[in-house]
Structure 1
Amino acid sequence: SGTHAASAGDAGGAATPGPATSGVKFAAPPPGDLQYDTFYNGMQNMIGTIHWRTDGRTYDLSVSMPVPFVGPFSYRSEGRIDAFGIAPDRYVEKRGKRPEDIAIFNRESHQVVFTRTPNNAPLPDGVQDRFSMLMQLSGLVRGNPSAYKPGVTQQFFVIDNNSGETWPITVIGDEDVQTQAGSVRARHFMRLPRRDGDTRRIDMWLAPSLGWLPARLVQSEPNGAQIELLWH
């Protein structure tokens, strides 16, 4: 499945995050280590990984994927689980040989601060980073699968390495994903445009047989490039 980087844009205008509801039906995905075949424009690369750890109160998520000519991209999110679901404390991106970019979620000041920029972002309840968002969606679907029918759309406020924005995620429906291990039934979610002219697309297929973790992820870039992770 492709856990790939999704990038920041601005769907919610400059700002204010959409509402999150406390006491949501949330069931954190079970801990697991998943391997993925990775593809860049259809050409297969080395294996990518998702390592997910949780004890029901805290969590640690790390994602690694090879990127041709650039080196590995690695992402780490760690934090806790609260009444809104996944609650990140720290998000780290490392892209190839570039220095790490870190986002710190300061819940006392209700601000997210960044090492990459002096700017900060609001920290509403239910806020996610780019990769915790995947686990948040997984936990929400796992907690109440029947609520996520085709056409249902949910807003997530997502922190990147230097800003925050609203991601509208819609349900496409249940589909079969073809993997090396055979066909896997999965629910297809897609990020809708975050603003007029937004052509960067993210598709996620979450599989109940994998604890609602991703069987496939695809990021499609405005220039036509495509990054895919497919459960191995």
Structure 2
Amino acid sequence: MGSPSKALIPVTGVVLAAHAALLWSLPAADIQPQAKDDQLLMQTRMVEIAPPPPPPPAPAPEPAPKPTPAPRPKPAPKAAPQPRVPAPAPAPEPAAPESESNQALASDTQSPKAPETEANSTQTASAPEPPAPPPPEPEPAEISDGDTAKPMQITPAGSAPLPPGTPLPIALPGGATLEFNASGQVKGFNYSAGAELQWQHDGQYYQARQSISMFLLGERAQTSEGLITPNGLQPLNFIDKGRKTQSASFDLPTGKARFSDGTADAAIAEGVQDRLSVFLQLSALMAAGPERYPQGTVIDLTTSGARSAVRWRFRVGATEALELPIGSVMALRLDKLPGQNKSDQQGAIWLAPTMQYLPVRIRLTQGQDDFVDLKLKKYRPVTQ
């Protein structure tokens, strides 16, 4: 067995031969030797840089003084959310809104666009102001039911009330007896009856009596009597006779209406009427000058019963054709308007020009269900 060095000789020769074959197979590189002077020598050395000194510790900040709390403002009422406005389409056709409550107006597209910010990035449109309603017809000044000390007040349609003391012409109808068919309801009981109005005067004093007679129920009668003045009727006594008799007396010099049942006195003034004379006073006003009271004119006056006095308000209406037991009659309608006291009477009265403006129909309601309706059946003027 040979030595190890001799065994390596053939292996070394094979390796050298393989390297020679590899080198000869590579292409020749274009390498030019550099001059000795052109060669750069680079030397490097390590330099140790000392770290910067640490910064001095910052002093602790002084505590800021506590600000004085401002008073908390009252919260503003929440505004109703506005609808989001869609971007307008090019040249849209105008469309009618479905309803006034859901309209939305887009902002003016010709105005320069403001820069978008967080506050105005979402545009909203303000709701349009609703159109102003048409002005209502002028109404007379409100008079409370308790203002019984005020004189009669006339408010022509569309005008201010006439000044107190304005002279009003009067034309009292001549004496007459009027018979009516009466129907109505009292506390759920329907009835029909006969009624009569007797009216007479001598130019200085007057008397009026109205009665309603019902079978098995007897008669109820109201009587008014008093003076005739340049302003019309001035009642002195009013009597209401039914199951019991009650009355009221009127003392204009002291401005008091006194009641027989002991109720406190009521304040009154010129123009006061009772619940029967009031219809005849309206007849005298209309007969003297119907052109002074165009449709819509309101007449306010104190009207007293046997236990209390309130303000009654009548509004002049149109002339209507009525079919009554006496036949067809043209009559001027005056509506009795409701007062503040819901239990007070309301209704209407019709005055016939062909019968001296005497009432040919009277309808009054009391509460929700009770009413009485008188329709003229016979008219008999009294001959002097």
TM-superposed deviation, 1:148: 2.2
Matches within 5 A, 1:101-116: 101-116=246-261
Structure ranking higher in strand proportion? 1
Q: Report the Cα distance in structure 2 between the residues aligned to 1:123 and 1:17, rounded to whole angstroms.
A: 4
TM-superposed deviation, 1:71: 2.8
Greater CA drift, 34-43 or 117-126: 34-43
Deviation track 1:32-76 (CA, whole Å, cap 9, x = no partner) reads 011001112596623210000011211000000135764321000
Q: Find the residue that maps to 1:204 and give its secondary structure.
A: strand
Name the residue aligned to 2:150: 18
Q: Report the Cα distance in structure 2 between the residues aligned to 1:223 and 1:198, rounded to whole angstroms.
A: 9
Structure 1 residues without counterparts, runs of 5 or longer? 1-10
* Counterpart pick for 1:135 among 274, 280, 293: 280
Matches within 5 A, 1:170-185: 170-185=315-330
Name the residue aligned to 2:266: 121
Q: Find the residue that maps to 1:73 and give its secondary structure.
A: strand
TM-score (structure 2 length as normaliser)? 0.54
Q: Report the Cα distance in structure 2 between the residues aligned to 1:39 and 1:59, rounded to whole angstroms.
A: 28
Q: Report the Cα distance in structure 1 between the residues aligned to 2:191 and 2:270, rounded to whole angstroms.
A: 39
Name the residue aligned to 1:8: none
Name the residue aligned to 1:75: 222
Is 1:191–2:339 an aligned residue pair? no
Name the residue aligned to 1:64: 211
TM-superposed deviation, 1:117: 2.1
TM-superposed deviation, 1:133: 0.4
Q: Find the residue that maps to 1:142 and give its secondary structure.
A: helix
Is 1:88–2:239 an aligned residue pair? no
* Counterpart pick for 1:53 among 191, 200, 211: 200
Q: Report the Cα distance in structure 2 between the residues aligned to 1:56 and 1:172, rounded to whole angstroms.
A: 30
Q: Find the residue that maps to 1:194 and give its secondary structure.
A: coil
Paired residue type of 1:172:
G
Contact 2:343–2:366 (Cα < 8 Å) also in 1 = no
Q: Find the residue that maps to 1:162 and give its secondary structure.
A: coil
Greater CA drift, 182-191 or 101-110: 101-110
Q: Report the Cα distance in structure 1 between the residues aligned to 2:208 and 2:331, rounded to whole angstroms.
A: 21
Q: Report the Cα distance in structure 1 between the residues aligned to 2:287 and 2:151, rounded to whole angstroms.
A: 21
Q: Report the Cα distance in structure 1 between the residues aligned to 2:193 and 2:223, rounded to whole angstroms.
A: 19
Greater CA drift, 136-145 or 22-31: 22-31
Q: Report the Cα distance in structure 1 between the residues aligned to 2:248 and 2:148, rounded to whole angstroms.
A: 18
TM-superposed deviation, 1:143: 0.9
Q: Report the Cα distance in structure 2 between the residues aligned to 1:203 and 1:118, rounded to whole angstroms.
A: 28
TM-superposed deviation, 1:16: 3.9
Deviation track 1:50-108 (CA, whole Å, cap 9, x = no partner) reads 0000112110000001357643210000001112210001100012x22x111111233
Q: Find the residue that maps to 2:312 and give its secondary structure.
A: strand
Relative to structure 1, the CA distance from residue 197 to residue 109 in structure 2 (aligned partners, 3 Å threshold; closer, same or farther) is closer
Is 1:205–2:350 an aligned residue pair? yes
Q: Report the Cα distance in structure 2 between the residues aligned to 1:22 and 1:47, rounded to whole angstroms.
A: 40
TM-score (structure 1 length as normaliser)? 0.87
Q: Report the Cα distance in structure 2 between the residues aligned to 1:142 and 1:103, rounded to whole angstroms.
A: 28
Q: Report the Cα distance in structure 2 between the residues aligned to 1:225 and 1:164, rounded to whole angstroms.
A: 21
Greater CA drift, 165-174 or 19-28: 19-28
Name the residue aligned to 1:5: none
Name the residue aligned to 2:43: none
Contact 1:22–1:83 (Cα < 8 Å) also in 2 = no
Contact 1:45–1:66 (Cα < 8 Å) also in 2 = no
What is the identity percentage for the equivalent residue pairs of Structure 1 and Structure 2? 24
Cα RMSD over matched residues? 2.1
Paired residue type of 1:66:
S
Q: Find the residue that maps to 1:139 and give its secondary structure.
A: helix
Q: Report the Cα distance in structure 2 between the residues aligned to 1:113 and 1:200, rounded to whole angstroms.
A: 21
Structure 2 residues without counterparts, runs of 5 or longer? 1-142, 153-164, 378-384
